[in-house]
Amino acid sequence: MSSKSPDSHAIALLERRLARERAARKAAETLLSSKSSEVYEALLRSSDTQRLLEMALWASGESIWEWSAEDDTYITRSFANPDLPPRVASGSLQQLAQHLHPDDRDRFWLSWRMHAAGASEPLDLAIRVSNSRRHWRWIRVRGKAVELSADGTAQRIVGTVKDITAHREAEYSFRLMASAFASSRDAMLVLRDNWQIIEANDAFQQLTGEQGLPGRALSDYLRLPDNLQQRFDDGGHAQCETRLRARSGVEVPVELTLSRFAAEDSTLSYLIATLRDITDRKRTETALERVARFDALTELPNRSSLQQQLSLQLRKVDANRQLAVLFIDLDGFKQVNDSLGHQAGDELLRIVAARLGPLLADNGLLARWGGDEFVALQRVGADREQTLQLAERLLHQLSQDMQIRGHRISISGSIGIAFAPEDGSDAETILRHADAAMYAAKHAGKNRCKVYHPGLTADALERVTLLAQLRTAIDNEELDFVLQPKFNARGEVVGAELLARWETALNGVISPGVFVPLAEQNGMAVGLGRLAIRRAADYAACLAAAGRPLPVAVNISAWQVMDDRLGEVLHSACMNAGITPAQLELEVTESIFLQESDAPVQHLTALREQGFPIVMDDFGTGYSSLGYLRRLPFDTIKIDRSFLIDVDLDVKSQRLLTGIVDLCRSLGIGTVAEGVETREQLDLLRRLGVAQYQGYYLARPMSLAAMLKFLPRHAELQETLG
């Protein structure tokens, strides 16, 4: 039997060992390959997770931070752009604290130290830090200790930080709006799109008197206009005035404002309804409307309301349905106003309105046109007689005496009547024609009515033209002035009165009884008075230059007495003419002193103290009282010519004159009798002791030139009187 050689046996052993080694190596390679694949896949999964984390931090606006106790530093990583590496910043806590708001530093350090010591839950702080532009920003810092030492203190803390400034501001704004909603004095509601109530503030609940409002419809409480929904849908906003029904049954006027808004955290939209109680505003509007339509003094419809009513009535007129327009003017009102004051005048107007109003209650209207003028409207048929009867009743009521402030007052009225459509079919025309008829009634003697006819329009135009001419004559100093001498008992000229005269190219001579009231009624009294003062001063200077320094009297109207510049005008006139105040007498009627104000007395007293003699003109007319002579600043009184009518035949008049003269003499007041027309009157007045005389029997008014010629020749008159 053959046997193997040792070499072959060794080779076999080597091959088997190599085979085992190859198998082991292959198994190892297979295992390594498998493990490497797992590691690789794990690495890939870790990279995706980090990427997702970075994307999440970028999307949420958060940054991550890490703090190490070993070097007491922190590192932050911010993800401003997901495609770029994070921004890294680092620093110490002390450096961070320097950027904190002073009010937040202590709170930050306390929370940090407690957490680092393991004595508190994870960090969660809202603090303010300053940015590079020194603006304060709110940030929220969250963190948790992830590594602890043996004693439990933090060695490593990680967490997130986020800028929450916008959130804080929105939160503050929301709280502010919520507070405003709750505490607003205006009622406010939050509504669904179907206008169903979600929430209501206290003001709305107080307004309605109800508590359980949510779920109710807005229309349960408000009268909503039909087109409100459409207006709101078109513009997303609507406003209207309506009325709110309270549980008590009372309806409150409100202003409703509707607006749409979207909730911050929802795609749904809601409505805000604001209700403002406009009760006071409506009350004010009603009062203003009444003021706009009614006269505050008389409570009658005013001019505007009258014109509106007149225009409406004129649309309904025809030959069988006429409209009468009565223009009413009070005769004597100005004297009451000037004498007793404006308050008395106002009281008179109220009495007139109360008397006349009921006469028009059935088929007409009474309105105050202005001043002392009223307008009445009366609906009539073809027969105008009822209008004339109405006018007579109106005049009768006006003529009844009135008691005003302790005085018995008597006035009258002048009424002009125009009929529509015959005398005018529009408001302006018919009123103008009724006004023209009223002036005709006044010129015919007052206390009467006149019906319009076309000729009256020409008269009214003439008055307007005359007024324009008078204004020009005063402005251009085109009026003439004459002097009427005054005499003493021996027949000596002791003074003169200045009288105005006016002659026009178109109308000839105009009586002072026409143009003086015209000036006073149209705001020209002061201008006319100042012109008269200058002329009186000039005439007094001329008389003095001729060797007869006689005082010249000038009439001062009530308007001038109340003119603050009267003293300045008088002194200027005296200085320019070179005369003394004693050479300029101021004649006023006693009616100016019957006002409640003491201003007229004070003004004239001051002028008297400056040397101007004060004369009471027309004593015995109006509301004369002998008591005035004691308390008012008069040097002289002029006894009105009405006292001289039949004085030589009437014993009572003689006794009255005797009492006046004796009283004035005892008070040291001079007397002048004006209107002396006969020798009998003169002789009687001389026997009664009157000091001075003025009248046609002694001398008529004359020009300055005629006066200068008259003075040397008046000796003949003295012989006649003697």
Residues 487, 608 within the same domain: yes
Number of Cβ within 10 Å of residue 116's Cβ equals 19
Instruction: Say if residue 1's pLDDT is above 50.
Output: no
Task: Indicate which CATH number applies to the domain containing 443.
Answer: 3.30.70.270
Domain count, the chain: 4
Whether residue 389 lies inside any domain: the answer is yes
Residues 669, 525 within the same domain: yes
pLDDT at 231: 80
Cβ neighbors of 714 (< 8 A, separation 6 or more) are 485, 491, 492, 493
pLDDT at 533: 94
- C-beta separation of 460 from 441 below 8 A: no
Residues 221, 333 within the same domain: no
Nearest C-alpha neighbor of 588 from the set 551, 636, 517: 636
How many residues are listed for the chain in this entry? 722
Whether residue 662 lies inside any domain: the answer is yes
Whether residue 18 lies inside any domain: the answer is no
Nearest C-alpha neighbor of 380 from the set 354, 427, 343, 417: 417
- C-beta separation of 462 from 351 below 8 A: no
Nearest C-alpha neighbor of 412 from the set 361, 348, 354: 348
For the residues of 310-368, what is the DSSP string, one character each? Answer: HHHHHTT-BTTBEEEEEEEEEETHHHHHHHH-HHHHHHHHHHHHHHHGGGGTTTEEEEE
Phi and psi at residue 7, to the nearest 5°: -65, -40
pLDDT at 12: 65
Whether residue 55 lies inside any domain: the answer is no
Whether residue 458 lies inside any domain: the answer is no
pLDDT at 27: 62
Structure tokens belonging to residue 646: 């039949």
Enclosing domain of residue 274: 169-283
Residues 412, 475 within the same domain: no
Q: What is the DSSP letter of 236?
A: S
Nearest C-alpha neighbor of 319 from the set 421, 432, 408: 421
- C-beta separation of 453 from 441 below 8 A: no
Q: Give the H/E segment covering residue 690.
A: none
Strand duo 154-163 + 187-191: pairing = unpaired
Single-letter amino acid, residue 401: D
- C-beta separation of 695 from 664 below 8 A: no
The average pLDDT across 236-244 equals: 81
Instruction: Say if residue 458's pLDDT is above 70.
Output: no
Whether residue 672 lies inside any domain: the answer is yes
CA distances from 400 to 324, 447, 715 (A): 24, 12, 53
3-state class (DSSP) for residue 264? coil
Residues 547, 606 within the same domain: yes
Residues 270, 379 within the same domain: no
Whether residue 288 lies inside any domain: the answer is no
Residues 313, 390 within the same domain: yes
Tens-place pLDDT, residues 67-110? 888 888 888 887 767 667 778 888 888 888 888 888 888 888 88
Read off the pLDDT band of 557 (50, 70, 90). Answer: confident
Task: Indicate which CATH number applies to the domain containing 95.
Answer: 3.30.450.20
Q: How far apart are CA 131 and CA 491, in angstroms?
A: 111
Task: Indicate which CATH number applies to the domain containing 578.
Answer: 3.20.20.450
- C-beta separation of 597 from 563 below 8 A: no
The maximal CA–CA distance of the chain, rounded, in angstroms, is 220
3-state class (DSSP) for residue 377? strand
pLDDT at 585: 94
The alpha carbon torsion through 536, 539, 540, 543 (nearest 10 deg) reads -160
- C-beta separation of 720 from 491 below 8 A: yes
Say which residue, 182 or 83, is predicted with more confidence.
83
Residues 502, 552 within the same domain: yes
Tens-place pLDDT, residues 525-545? 888 999 999 999 999 999 999
Among residues 424, 453, 482, the one where a domain terminates is 453
Instruction: Say if residue 375's pLDDT is above 90.
Output: yes
The average pLDDT across 278-283 equals: 81
Whether residue 263 lies inside any domain: the answer is yes
Nearest C-alpha neighbor of 499 from the set 489, 486, 488, 508: 486
- C-beta separation of 496 from 707 below 8 A: yes
- C-beta separation of 589 from 617 below 8 A: yes
Nearest C-alpha neighbor of 73 from the set 87, 94, 88: 94
Tens-place pLDDT, residues 287-312? 777 777 888 889 899 988 899 899 99
Three-state DSSP string of 425-477: CCHHHHHHHHHHHHHHHHHCCCCEEEECCCHHHHHHHHHHHHHHHHHHHHHCC
* Beta-bridge mates of residue 277: 254
Which segment, 224-228, 261-265, 415-419, 440-444, is predicted with the most confidence on average?
415-419
The average pLDDT across 682-695 equals: 89
- C-beta separation of 351 from 374 below 8 A: no
3-state class (DSSP) for residue 287? helix
Q: Provide the whole-model pTM.
A: 0.47
Residues 129, 208 within the same domain: no
Residues 584, 659 within the same domain: yes
3-state class (DSSP) for residue 84? coil
Structure tokens belonging to residue 112: 């940090």
Read off the pLDDT band of 43 (50, 70, 90). Answer: very low
Tens-place pLDDT, residues 192-228? 878 888 877 777 777 777 765 677 887 778 888 777 8
Q: How far apart are CA 193 and CA 698, in angstroms?
A: 101
Among residues 264, 283, 302, the one where a domain terminates is 283
Residues 625, 703 within the same domain: yes
Q: How far apart are CA 466 and CA 443, in angstroms?
A: 15
**Cβ neighbourhood burial of 334 (10 Å; 0-12, 13-18, 19+):** middle
In which residue are the tokens 């302790």 written?
A: 406
Give CA angle at 516 (590, 401), nearest 5°. 50
Q: How far apart are CA 594 and CA 604, in angstroms?
A: 14
Instruction: Say if residue 614's pLDDT is above 80.
Output: yes
Structure tokens belonging to residue 18: 């190599």
Nearest C-alpha neighbor of 344 from the set 592, 596, 517: 596
**Percent of the chain at pLDDT above 70?**
80
Residues 395, 277 within the same domain: no
Among residues 131, 163, 195, the one where a domain terminates is 163
Structure tokens belonging to residue 189: 């509601």
Phi and psi at residue 370, to the nearest 5°: 145, 150
